[in-house]
Structure 1
Amino acid sequence: MTPHERRRDRATGVLERPSFADVTLGEGVLYERCALNLTYLESLRPENLLRPYLFEAGLWSWSGTLEPTAGSAAPAGPQTWHWGWEAPTSELRGHILGHWLSAAAQLRRQRPRLDATADLIVAELARCQHSNGGGWIAPFPEKYLERIAAGHRVWAPQYVIHKLLAGLLDMATLGGNETAFEIVRAAANWFDSWTGGFSREQLDDILDWETGGMLEVWAGLYGLTGESTHLALIERYRRGRFFEPLLAGEDVLTNKHANTQIAEILGCARAYEVTGDVEWRRIVEAFWDQAIISRGTYITGGSSSAEIWQPAFQQVARLHDVQEHCTVFNMMRVADYLYRWTGESDYAAYWERNLINGVLAQQNRQTGMVAYFLPLEAGSHKRWGHPTRDFWCCHGTLMQAHASYLGAGIHLDGADLRLGQYVPASATLSTSVGRVEITISPDPRSGLVFGQRRTDEGYQGIQHLHVPPAPAERPSTSLIRIRVRTERPATFAVKLRVPDWAVSTPTLTIDGQGVAGNQDGDFLILRRRWSDEMIEVGFTSELKAHPLPGQPGSVAFTDGPVVLAGLVEEERALVADVRNPQAVLRPDRERGHSWWSAHTYRTQGQDRGFRFIPLHEVTDQTYSIYFPIRPA
């Protein structure tokens, strides 16, 4: 049996998403950003990714060869060693390989060379594990864990091991790589033996040293095997010192390391899915309430600064190093778990805001590199990482984040199709009524959430006189086309999320004919017999001003889900009525050749004017997000 077939999750009522192999991104900003990420993944040579593992295993060099495949070429130029956090002297060396494997497992169908490289790396890791004695697999010696157990500081060895094992599990479950599964299984035996020698109090002491997502790894493995050994590892990695006061409603987050705790909560989410034990789910829900609902967020959706949780609704004092990129991606994963369990639109809205104003905003749209933090104070700059000199943890989540939005928001809800996001893509789903193909694409006539680029349709719109002219001014409605094709005619519902930023009743047509969908909460329900139909839905947005928690006299501006950045180098007060931001900002540079330039504005009625652009389009400009307001 393959890793795919071994075991089904125990939790019921969970929304199912299509396989990554059955999804293709459509053209647009996300396609371009994903392409940058693919190029970066391919640029990292396997021998460099493997080097610390080979060194630890006493192998010193890799044994593989990799020939160019059709449509792809080997990386050019001289071999460059990995430095920064991957340097031989760094205790965190080797962590990038696990991230790389997870991203490659999701994107391997996109590039043939990536597929071959991933399988080669797994084979080399198996060789390392065998050389280590058949269990231990890490880029450093077992002594690192012995030092942790003795209470001596080491820089997060279990965090590194988690990244590796998580990447191998993804290679097993998403890539069908049997060797990857066997490596994780053998590593689990090593950890079962190691942890089995400690008392509960000793285990709790060990868990206080950043274990990353080890709990999630053991839960994922148990979901494949159902073996008691792997269930025992789940229980041993239950961090009661964190989870119990969290369930009791105590504030166990303020000024604590955010990314440590988020990884542990992701483990609880996976443990719930594979065991069905509702206490794991209650921990996740209690965490979400304390991290987001009871704490508040920055306008971008982030809720931490300098890697730690800020006090509840006191963001004003911590605008310098907001939302470490890792916390953005991992909180999106928590939101995804909760959305799949509940179908509630608030979680989808959170995911959307963080995608646009976190994942996209913290990737350089020219080089593809990552910004560790996203400062929001006046006169901020994004600090971009280097491809091979830094290797911060955020380099790793960069790779995974730009693989994660393939098929995002497309789910099966029983026999129905639920769309929580409108990422341009084509996907195929196997349903109880047969195969269903869905294609989501923006209408180039509209103002768009992610902006627009030249398309054949847009070009024809300015050339052909029989084509209706574009609106005179940039439209405020984003039109989205959704084509539904079925293997055979079938009756089911298509459920469309109405975004929280939509300000009027959505427009809705099927094959050009106006329809009135039933509304269930924040979803439009279209139940009918489908065969090959085109849905077009339109959501209207408007400028909004949002107060800064802790200083309501300062505001940030959004256009739909997009945070706007003012291109200004110092704190600048605006004369404005925050109830009417349209009187402060007017459209600017709104039209390109055959497309609309979305979300670009200029101030009006101020002593000195300046421009606003989407935060996710800022590269090397100086910018400010929050602005003090003086009444008009």
Structure 2
Amino acid sequence: MTHMKFHEFAAGGIQLAPGPLKERFQLNKKYVMSLTNENLLRNFYLEAGLWSYSGNGGTTSATTTSMDGPENWHWGWESPTCELRGHMMGHWLSAAARIYKQTDDNLVKAKADFIVSELAKCQEAIGTGFLAAFPETYMHRIVSGKWVWAPHYTVHKLLMGLHEMHVLAGNEQALRMMAALADWFHRWTDSFDRQQMDDLLDLETGGMLETWAELYALTKETKHRDLIDRYDRRRFFDALLEGQDVLTNKHANTQIPEILGAAKAWEATGEIRYRHIVEAFWKCAVEDRGYLATGAGDDAELWMPGTDMTRMGAGQEHCVNYNMMRLAHVLLRWTGNPIYADYWERRFVNGVLAHQHGETGMIAYFLGIGAGSQKKWGSATQHFWCCHGTLVQANAAYQEQIFLQDEQGIAIMQWLPSTLSAVVDDAIIRLSIRQDGQNGLYPLQAWNVEGMTAITKVDVPPMPVHRPNSFIYEVKLSLASRKPFCLKLRLPWWVHGNTLISINGVQQQGNWQPSSYAELHREWAEGDIVRIELPKTLTAELLPGETEMYAFMDGPIVLAGLVEEERRLVGKKDQLDSLLVPDRERNHSWWNPGYYRTKGQDRGFRFIPLYEIKDETYSVYFPIEPREGE
């Protein structure tokens, strides 16, 4: 058994608190449930020979689809003419399983269970154990070196969805289907020598290593261990272990799932080489390369060189963002190092929140940061980019990273309003994180009575004149009986100044630093309240490879300037109040973090948080030059 510093709590034990973040979850759930069974299954039915038109005078086969016309079908990457068809199914199953585990909504489970049962019929009709929305010939084509658009990728998504339907939703049929598909792949690869297998993996591998490791962790069957060995992409992994940069200008969203596979292989087998591969990748992809203010090291799905990230073309991809967050969470569990939670937070605020339209719930495939960028939003049924799939997964599961546990107690890793209900050493413990109504990150902030009280009552402490430069949280504990343990609080990288922590109103003393933990050891009791004030400030981050191009951040929030072209700012980069001043600070009963306007420029313009951009044209990086004579 591999050693890990932190462990996750049981799925479903962490719930989002009411508020905008929970509303995003519900918006995602609504979208997931709006996709009809017939449309999700159509291409699988077609491939299995189980679909026929059932209209006036038509015949009905064992399985039929809706009589809706093509205008209501799924198109884009789910079109019957697209080689990637069927990829959305796996993402959908994964999202449905996660939503069910969060909500106990039996309608979600019933819909997902039905779809699994229909997929089982398709697998049985195909008759070989294979299951996909495309023919087996695609696999034969890639092994002969002929290009096909990512069949391994598509099958991996399906296997991942079946795995989560089994683990999270208790669907036993899904595990049997995984095993049958694994049998097919074991037979198919049985005659390949190592060179043939390596050539195949160089052409296309998706995240197959991850699902074989997940399956082996469940079954411990030799043939599933064989598949781990066969899908070990040695040419890529060995080059990483040798310290080579085999990432620059390579397809990031091909490589990250392979590394997630190595991570799962280490956890399933204990073979240390796999852990070293993951660590070597992170060093090459993040530590040596650096990243943009959003956390991204990719543009147009390709890794940018660490010495020059100035090209700023299409922008970061949502799938890369999501998968790098997954990898950061893995390394956080392994090592306990809070820098991985810092990275996850940066990617969450300026990736997950920024890629999703806050009103429609739709996805922006790329998120540009160059001058004159604009988000292009996908539609509900006409695009089905890969990012539609990671959209529904990401927004069904971000609560899992908030709380973790170790041998000493409980750690709060992400400051997201939520509640943990767990059994620790046979004791029932409940922790809730509440964001202060007047000192919080707006996308996570619910409209509340506290805000109305602040603007109506006169016998309450006075409000500050201007927007506060801190985020304040309260952690409330509920225990049946007193219990000693350590409560770890992650202090984010963006903290600027003295963190203030009190327990039941008593100020605590500690030399707390950013990117570390405040460790509170005590015997906790029912009703204990911990108050944490995290001070922030406006900062400027240099564009890697440049000497004068900067992005502005308000704490963890990347700011977007509302301009259509590059604007040169004049002022002192180390005295940002010479460039920007707070703007539109107040919105009725809450403060607006991340709103600024320029100061002393020829043409003034405004900045708003990148995650609030919808259809506006914007820029993130700006050249700064000193004023004449300074």
Distance in 1 (CA, whole Å) between partners of 2:50 and 2:481 is 56
Q: Is the 8 A contact 1:409 1:421 kept in 2?
A: yes
* Among candidates 80, 92, 112, match of residue 100 of structure 1: 92
Q: Is 1:27 aligned with 2:18? A: yes
2:553 counterpart residue number: 558
Residue by residue over 1:72-112, the C-alpha shift from the partner in whole angstroms, topping out at 9 and shown as x without a partner, is xx9x9998200011000000000001001111111114344
1:610-621 equivalent positions in 2, closer than 5 A: 610-621=605-616
Q: Unmatched 5+ residue regions in structure 1?
A: 1-9, 67-73
Q: Is the 8 A contact 2:247 2:303 kept in 1?
A: yes
Does structure 1 conserve the Cα–Cα contact (< 8 Å) formed by 2:499 and 2:512? no
Query: Is the aligned partner of 1:85 residue 2:80?
Result: no
SS for the counterpart of 1:488 is: coil
Partner of 1:414: 407
Q: Does 1:167 align with 2:158?
A: no
Q: What is the alpha-carbon distance in structure 2 between the residues aligned to residue 588 and residue 570 of structure 1?
A: 21
State the one-letter code of the partner of 2:319.
C
**Structure 2: how far apart are the matches of 1:240 and 1:78?**
44
Deviation at 1:597, TM superposition (A): 1.3
Q: Does 1:347 align with 2:340?
A: yes
Matched, 1:583 2:575: no
Separation in structure 1 between the aligned mates of residue 69 and residue 30 of structure 2, nearest angstrom: 15
**Secondary structure of the corresponding residue to residue 174 of structure 2:** helix
Q: List alignment gaps of at least 5 residues for structure 2.
A: 53-60
State the shift of 1:59 in Å: 0.9
User: 1:265-313 deviations in whole A, cap 9, x for unaligned?
Assistant: 0000001111111110000000000011111111110101111111122
**Pairwise CA distance, 1:382:** 0.6
- Is the aligned partner of 1:522 residue 2:516? yes
Residue 254 of structure 1 aligns with which residue? 248
**Are residues 1:115 and 2:105 paired?**
no
Give, in angstroms, the shift of residue 462 of structure 1.
2.1
For 1:487 and 1:191, locate their aligned partners in 2 and report how far apart those are by CA, in whole Å: 51
1:345–1:522 Cα contact (<8 Å) kept: yes
Amino acid in the other structure paired with 2:463: A
CA–CA separation in structure 2 for the residues paired with 1:79 and 1:412: 49
Q: Identity over aligned residues, as a percent? A: 48
Q: Does 1:60 align with 2:54?
A: no
What's 1:594 paired with? 589
Q: Of the candidates 183, 186, 202, which is equivalent to residue 180 of structure 2?
A: 186
8 Å CA contact retained: 2:50, 2:62: no
SS at match of 1:516: coil
Q: 1:282 aligns with which of 276, 291, 308?
A: 276
Q: Of residues 38, 49, 53 in structure 1, which corresponds to 2:40?
A: 49
Give me the whole-angstrom Cα distance separating, in 2, the residues matched to 1:129 and 1:616.
42
1:24 deviates by 1.7
Q: Distance in 2 between matches of 1:362 and 1:436?
A: 35
- What is the rounded CA distance, in whole Å, between the counterparts of 2:621 and 2:436 in structure 1? 32
Q: How far off its partner does 1:449 sit?
A: 6.3
Aligned pairs (5 A) from 1:211-222: 211-222=205-216
Matches within 5 A, 1:182-331: 182-316=176-310, 318-331=311-324
Amino acid at match of 1:631: P
**Deviation (angstroms), 1:264:** 0.2
1:609 to 600, 604, 613: 604
Matched, 1:404 2:397: yes
Query: What letter corresponds to residue 39 of structure 2 in structure 1?
Result: N
* C-alpha contact 2:306 2:545 (8 A) present in aligned 1: no
The answer to whether residue 494 in structure 2 is matched with residue 501 in structure 1 is yes
C-alpha change, 1:581 and 1:234, in structure 2 (3 Å) is same
Q: Distance in 1 between matches of 2:252 and 2:37?
A: 31
The amino acid that maps onto 2:315 is V
Match of 1:13 in 2: 4
Give 1:458 deviation, angstroms. Answer: 1.5
Q: Aligned residue for 1:133?
A: 127
Q: SS of 1:208's equivalent?
A: helix
Runs of 4+ aligned residues of structure 1 deviating over 4 Å after TM superposition are 61-66, 76-79, 517-521
Distance in 1 (alpha carbons) for counterparts of 2:98 and 2:5: 21
Q: Does 1:427 align with 2:415?
A: no
2 CA distance for matches of 1:599 and 1:211?
A: 41
Q: Name whichever of 118-127 and 515-524 sits farther off.
A: 515-524
**Aligned-CA RMSD value:** 2.0
Residues 423-448 of structure 1, C-alpha deviations (whole Å, 9 max, x = no match): 11112122225222111110112143
2:445 paired with 1:452: yes
**Structure 1 residue 128, shift from structure 2 partner:** 1.1
In structure 2, distance between residues paired with 1:147 and 1:566? 48
CA distance in 1, matches of 2:624, 2:96: 47
Equivalent position of 1:6 in the other structure:
none
Deviations along 1:401-421, whole A, 9 cap, x unmatched? 111212323001124101111
> In 1, are the aligned partners of 2:372 and 2:565 still within 8 Å (CA)?
yes
Q: Find the aligned partners of 2:603 and 2:69 in 1 and give their Cα distance.
A: 48
Please say if residues 51 and 64 of structure 2, whose CA atoms lie closer than 8 Å, have aligned partners that are also in contact: no
- Once the two structures are overlaid, the 10-residue window that deviates more, 293-302 or 27-36, is 27-36
Shift of 1:582: 2.3
Residue type of the alignment partner of 1:547: L
What do the CA deviations read for 1:546-600 (whole angstroms, capped 9, x no partner)? 1111212111100011000000111101011010112211111111111111211
**In the alignment, residue 261 of structure 1 is paired with which amino acid?**
Q
Deviations 1:370-406 (A, max 9, x none): 1111111111101111111111101101111111212
Cα distance in 1 for partners of 2:325, 2:273 equals 21
Q: Deviations over 1:445-486 (max 9, x none)?
A: 214364634212221222233322322211011001111222
- CA distance in 2 between partners of 1:138 and 1:488 (Å): 53
User: Could you tell me the TM-score, scaled by structure 2's length?
Assistant: 0.94
